[in-house]
Amino acid sequence: MAEQASIHGLWRSRWLFILAATGSAVGLGNIWKFPYITGENGGGAFVLVYLACICLIGIPVMIGEVVMGRMGRQSPINTMKALIKDNGGNPAWVGIGWMGALAGFLILSFYSVIAGWALYYVFQMMSGEFAATTAEHAGEVFGGLLGDPGTLMTWHTVFMILTIAVVARGVTKGLETAISILMPALFVLLIIMMGYAMASDGFAQGLEFLFSPDFSKLSWNSVVVALGHAFFTLSLGMGAIMAYGAYLPSGHSIGKTVVTIAVLDTVVALAAGMAIFPIVFSNGLEPGAGPGLLFQTLPIAFGNMPGGILFGTLFFILVSFAAWSSSISLAEPVMAWLVESKGLNRFKAGVLVGLIAWVLGIGTVLSFNEWAEIKLFDKTFFDTLDYLTANIMLPLGGLLIALFVAWVMRQDDVKAALEVENETLYKAWTVTVKFLAPLAIVFVFLNGLGVFAFG
């Protein structure tokens, strides 16, 4: 296929692509979701399965997404159309693009609500609300927030406006400097928190919980959640990385680039776990506390450490930024498509996308209070969206991407675009996307549905 040009601009270097993709990957998934689902799914064994999913499925699929994006150089929907045409595939494969666009809306809608919690906590921290706080008080503040739809709506609205303000200007502009300073800052702060956790009584117990696997605690549902989270945390399966790949300049090994992103993402998630679980155990809290875990634990630490107001405020600012650089990538696939195919300018497209996701987000806001008792299969509106996107739509998208790149695309084109540096690693990747990753995803799905009923 002839080299295409992107109408949306290119990252100025491979390093900026790494920053932007890491900005997309590192977000609430690492700092908020990973610790609480690890807590809910029993710790070590879950972490091990999650790491296996990152290495054996996440990284290979991510390579596939980037290479498809870079060859198509358009929004995922139009990239799929171009690749199908060029390789003579069945037109139905464009479904990868459409399903991704839908998943992007659904995730963005609840992501913005949770990111709103982080924004709210910036101001709570600053006000000194958590000075010398107890676990009980931290729990009350969080409970108070969830019970108050007005406050939740306010911060959801603020966050959505921030997201749209960036995508409306184009992701390759403006974002670059912000990410290159804030990502390292977040990491430094996590290290400081780990240092604090290390000095607490619960440190050994926290580490043991995270790293010593007890497989008797692992159910097939936990494996489905681990697989789903591997996709969620790497931003895979819905075209976000494909859209970013479309702006990646040629001339570099895609494999190396992807491995760098996955390693950074994993390190941040593990660091967050190592900062949070010692505090959980030092204060006799419940590791399976659910979505409030981050917000009920770290304020205790900040409230009781020297300089806690400063560090706490800074921490939630950086979490908000991490969420910001992620939410942008959720909107980008649809944005790019609206610009390419519907002739909208980025501003109009941004307002449209933001408005739809904002309205959908109201359902998540209410699921924590007014609608808390309205359940479908034992799940609230938020739980349903979270499960449907992370555990079903993203792995399904990833499965289709692996199959497309390995079975539909001409392999010599793919190989050239990957700019392979190591023949053995290339062969390993081919075998993985052809067989291993698709079979593993299908196997986990079927077990999750109880088809084989293996426990």
Residues within the interface to ligand TRP (CB under 6 A): 24-25, 27-30, 107, 232-233, 235, 238, 240, 326, 329-330, 394
Q: Which two tokens stand for residue 265?
A: 């993402």
Nearer to ligand TRP, 61 or 67 (CB): 61
Nearer to ligand TRP, 110 or 302 (CB): 110
Least Cβ distance, residue 407 to ligand TRP (angstroms) = 23
Least Cβ distance, residue 264 to ligand TRP (angstroms) = 12
H or E element at residue 179: helix 175-198
Nearer to ligand TRP, 283 or 389 (CB): 389
Measuring CA to CA, how many Å separate 307 from each of 179, 192, 209, 339? 25, 12, 28, 47
User: Side chain identity at 185, as an amino acid letter?
Assistant: A
Dihedral class, residue 133 (left if φ above 0, else alpha if ψ from -120 to 50, else beta): beta
Nearer to ligand TRP, 236 or 300 (CB): 236
Q: Angle 220-233/44-53 helices, nearest 10 degrees?
A: 50
Would you say the C-alpha torsion 235, 240, 243, 244 has a positive or negative sign?
negative
Least Cβ distance, residue 2 to ligand TRP (angstroms) = 29
Rounded to 5 degrees, what angle do the CA atoms 54, 56, 57 make?
Answer: 70
Nearer to ligand TRP, 29 or 287 (CB): 29
Least Cβ distance, residue 409 to ligand TRP (angstroms) = 22
Task: Write the DSSP symbol of residue 343.
Answer: -
Least Cβ distance, residue 233 to ligand TRP (angstroms) = 4
Nearer to ligand TRP, 33 or 70 (CB): 33
Backbone angles phi, psi at 379, to 5 degrees: -120, 140
Least Cβ distance, residue 299 to ligand TRP (angstroms) = 21
The count of other CB atoms within 10 Å of the CB of residue 98 is 14
Task: Write the DSSP symbol of residue 379.
Answer: B
Least Cβ distance, residue 235 to ligand TRP (angstroms) = 3
Q: Residue 107 burial (CB < 10 Å; 0-12/13-18/19+)?
A: buried
Give me the residue label for tokens 């895979």: 236
The count of other CB atoms within 10 Å of the CB of residue 50 is 25
Least Cβ distance, residue 141 to ligand TRP (angstroms) = 23
Least Cβ distance, residue 170 to ligand TRP (angstroms) = 17
Nearer to ligand TRP, 109 or 235 (CB): 235
C-alpha count within 13 angstroms, C-beta hemisphere, residue 188: 7
Nearer to ligand TRP, 168 or 261 (CB): 261
d(CA 33, CA 182): 20
Nearer to ligand TRP, 202 or 291 (CB): 291
Measuring CA to CA, how many Å separate 298 from each of 144, 280, 292, 309, 316? 17, 9, 11, 12, 10
Chain residue whose CB lies nearest ligand TRP: 29
Q: Residue 415 burial (CB < 10 Å; 0-12/13-18/19+)?
A: middle
